[in-house]
Structure 1
Amino acid sequence: MVEAVIWDFGGVLTTSPFEAFNRYEREKGLPLGFIRSINATNPDTNAWALFERSECTLDEFDRLFAEESAAKGTRIPGRDIIELLSGNIRPEMVTALKRCKEQVKVGCITNNVSAGKGAGMARSSEKAAAVAEVMSLFDHVIESSKVGIRKPDPRIYEMACEALGVSPAASVYLDDLGINLKPARALGMTTIKVLSPEQALKELEAAVGFPVA
């Protein structure tokens, strides 16, 4: 019996920042996946990890990311990456969130940084307002930049379940990254890897047992 649906934000309720990364790489003549390769190197201690846990400032991240990218062949200021993070809201996923809220508890676990406006790191007031409207739907939101813990640390999933008053086994978790789904699944959560809204909503309906579209 599902008692809660817990959502990642970027790449699930919004378009993926990876799309923006790819666009930046094409514009700069960089190999596809270059930015992600930097973030995947020393994933628990690199500039990205430090910033998501609020263990460095924006200025420090700007410098550290530039140093890490330069070591791989091309210097990219960290501030360039921050400008790419805020995706566009996916209306069909927000509709599904609302349908879930009518039946079960809903929560959000997002790895984010202290930059931009609000939990979605929006770069404009208009986008910030749209993100805030979505965030207001959740019964509880956990932001890595505020709690000092980031996915895939198992503690962050436990924190979400505790805050919602549900067991992991009674929860469904959606994320676009397999590395973030693995610990959730190990805790007993039903997991859905979001490859596209259509695929994710089909799997979500099967998991919760009621229409979400």
Structure 2
Amino acid sequence: MIKAVLWDFGGVLTTSPFEAFTRFEMEHGLPANFIRKINSTDPDTNAWAQFERSAVTLDEFDRLFEGESGELGHPIPGAEIIKLLAGDIRPNMVNALKLCGEKYICTCLTNNVAAGNGPGMTRDAAAQAEVEAVMRLFKQVIESSKIGLRKPDPRIYEYACEQMNVKPEEVVYLDDLGINLKPAAAMGMTTIKVVSEEQALRDLSAAANISFS
């Protein structure tokens, strides 16, 4: 029996930052998926992983990321990447969150960094207010930068279950990254990889037995 829905934020309730990465790469003549390649190299110890655990400061991340990208031939200051993280809220996904919240425990589980304006990394005051309104729909928000754990470390899913007081098999979990979903699925969670908004709503509707139309 499902008792909780666990939500990633960026790429699920907002448009994906990968779209911004692609634009940046095209604008600067970089190879396709260059930024994702940097972030997936030594994924547990690289600059990005350390920053999401708050193991380094913004200034340290800026220098470390520039060094890592420079080793691959195209140095990019880390601060430039932070600017790309904000996405646009997806109203239909927010509506699904509201409906799920009437029936299930809804918790946000997000890898984020100690920079910008919280989970959504928003660009301005109006966008920040929009993100804060979404955050209030959750029973709780679990941020990697605040607890020192990040997805896909299995411990963060164990922590989330403890906070929600549920068993893994009682959880539906949405994320846009398969690498984050694998440990959760292995624990027994029902996982949904968000490829598109339409697909995610369809899969969530089936898993949670809720109509979003």
The TM-score, its normalising length taken from structure 2, stands at 0.98
| 3-state DSSP of counterpart to 2:102 | helix
1:146 maps to what in 2? Answer: 146
After TM superposition, list the pairs within 5 Å mapping 1:23-62 onto structure 2: 23-62=23-62
The one-letter amino acid paired with 2:135 is M
1:68 maps to what in 2? Answer: 68
Deviates more, 1:75-84 or 1:152-161: 152-161
8 Å CA contact retained: 1:171, 1:190:
yes
Please identify runs of 4+ aligned residues in structure 1 that moved more than 6 A.
Answer: none
Asked if 1:163 corresponds to 2:163, the answer is yes
2:103 maps to what in 1? Answer: 103
2:93 maps to what in 1? Answer: 93
The one-letter amino acid paired with 1:176 is D
Q: Counterparts of 1:93 and 1:21 in 2: how far apart (Å)?
A: 22
1:118 maps to what in 2? Answer: 118
Q: How large is the RMSD of aligned CA atoms in angstroms?
A: 0.7
Report deviation, 1:124.
Answer: 1.3
Q: Counterparts of 2:105 and 2:99 in 1: how far apart (Å)?
A: 11
Q: What count of residue pairs does the alignment treat as equivalent?
A: 213
| 3-state DSSP of counterpart to 2:5 | strand
Q: Counterparts of 1:86 and 1:161 in 2: how far apart (Å)?
A: 27
The one-letter amino acid paired with 1:91 is P
Q: Counterparts of 2:210 and 2:92 in 1: how far apart (Å)?
A: 16
Report deviation, 1:212.
Answer: 2.9
Unaligned runs of 5+ in 2: none
Q: Counterparts of 1:176 and 1:40 in 2: how far apart (Å)?
A: 15
Q: Counterparts of 1:180 and 1:143 in 2: how far apart (Å)?
A: 14
Give percent identity, aligned residues only.
65
Deviates more, 1:203-212 or 1:92-101: 203-212
Report deviation, 1:123.
Answer: 2.2
Report deviation, 1:31.
Answer: 0.8
| 3-state DSSP of counterpart to 1:22 | helix
Q: Counterparts of 1:3 and 1:211 in 2: how far apart (Å)?
A: 17
Q: Counterparts of 2:83 and 2:123 in 1: how far apart (Å)?
A: 7
1:203 maps to what in 2? Answer: 203
Report deviation, 1:209.
Answer: 1.1
2:191 maps to what in 1? Answer: 191
Unaligned runs of 5+ in 1: none
